[in-house]
């Protein structure tokens, strides 16, 4: 089992958002988390990577207990988040954004992985010297996913990857998620507003 969450409770201030939540994700699985706005889906993902500190419960990832650990240590261990909202470094170039994604690896084989990802994402290769803030929404989403891959993750958490994108671009993004599942065998937890897309790629 790649990820095992037991009895997780978390929230903000006096407000409890998650109560006694359990989740199991096997290696190579893509698990969709569905629910209404405000149901706590993003809080779950943020708790898994240490952005929100759980109030109780256990989070075991790749055989290690990670509840309460620093986000940097969790990312270095192979669990990464693609956050909602396409958070690129707008004033950095596309290539610089990708290199930032490898910060936790301390420089090991970063150039080789950068070249490999630019080959895999031709639109990013064509725009590699452009500042990220000038990219379209779909291009920025591809950049955020590619930047996450630079950390060589064992599992990716995707928070609303289709949010704010035109339908044709949503299809492009989910084709990429499907490729990561089928070609790379990457384990993923997906929070997504488009139920049809989420169920189509989930295990």
Percent over 70 (pLDDT), the chain: 99
Could you give the number of structural domains in the chain?
Answer: 1
Residue with tokens 């599992």: 155
Residue 10 makes CB contacts below 8 A (sequence gap 6+) with 16, 17, 18, 40, 43, 44, 47, 52, 53, 54, 55
Residue 19's pLDDT is what?
96
Please, which pLDDT band fits residue 76 given cuts at 50, 70 and 90?
very high
Other CB atoms within 10 Å distance of the CB of residue 48:
25
| Domain hosting residue 78, numbered range | 3-201
Asked if 47 contacts 8 with a C-beta cutoff of 8 angstroms, the reply is: yes
The residue that leads in pLDDT, 194 or 124, is 124
Q: Find the CATH number of the domain harbouring 139.
A: 3.40.50.300
């Amino acid at each position: 089992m790649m990820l095992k969450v037991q009895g997780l409770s978390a929230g903000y201030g006096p407000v409890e958002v998650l109560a006694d939540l359990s989740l199991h994700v096997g290696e190579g699985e893509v698990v969709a988390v569905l629910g209404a706005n405000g149901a706590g889906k993003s809080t779950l993902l943020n708790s898994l990577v240490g952005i929100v500190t759980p109030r109780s419960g256990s989070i075991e990832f790749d055989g290690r207990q990670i509840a309460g650990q620093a986000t940097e240590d969790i990312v270095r261990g192979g669990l990464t988040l693609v956050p909602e909202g396409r958070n690129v470094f707008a004033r950095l170039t596309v290539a610089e954004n990708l290199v930032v994604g490898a910060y936790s690896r301390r420089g090991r084989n970063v150039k080789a992985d950068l070249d490999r990802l630019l080959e895999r994402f031709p639109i990013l290769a064509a725009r590699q010297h452009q500042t990220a803030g000038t990219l379209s929404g779909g291009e920025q989403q591809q950049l955020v996913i590619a930047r996450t891959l630079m950390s060589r993750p064992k599992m990716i958490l995707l928070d609303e990857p289709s949010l704010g994108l035109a339908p044709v671009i949503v299809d492009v993004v989910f084709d990429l998620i499907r490729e990561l599942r089928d070609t790379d065998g990457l384990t993923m937890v997906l929070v997504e507003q488009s139920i049809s897309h989420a169920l189509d790629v989930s295990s």
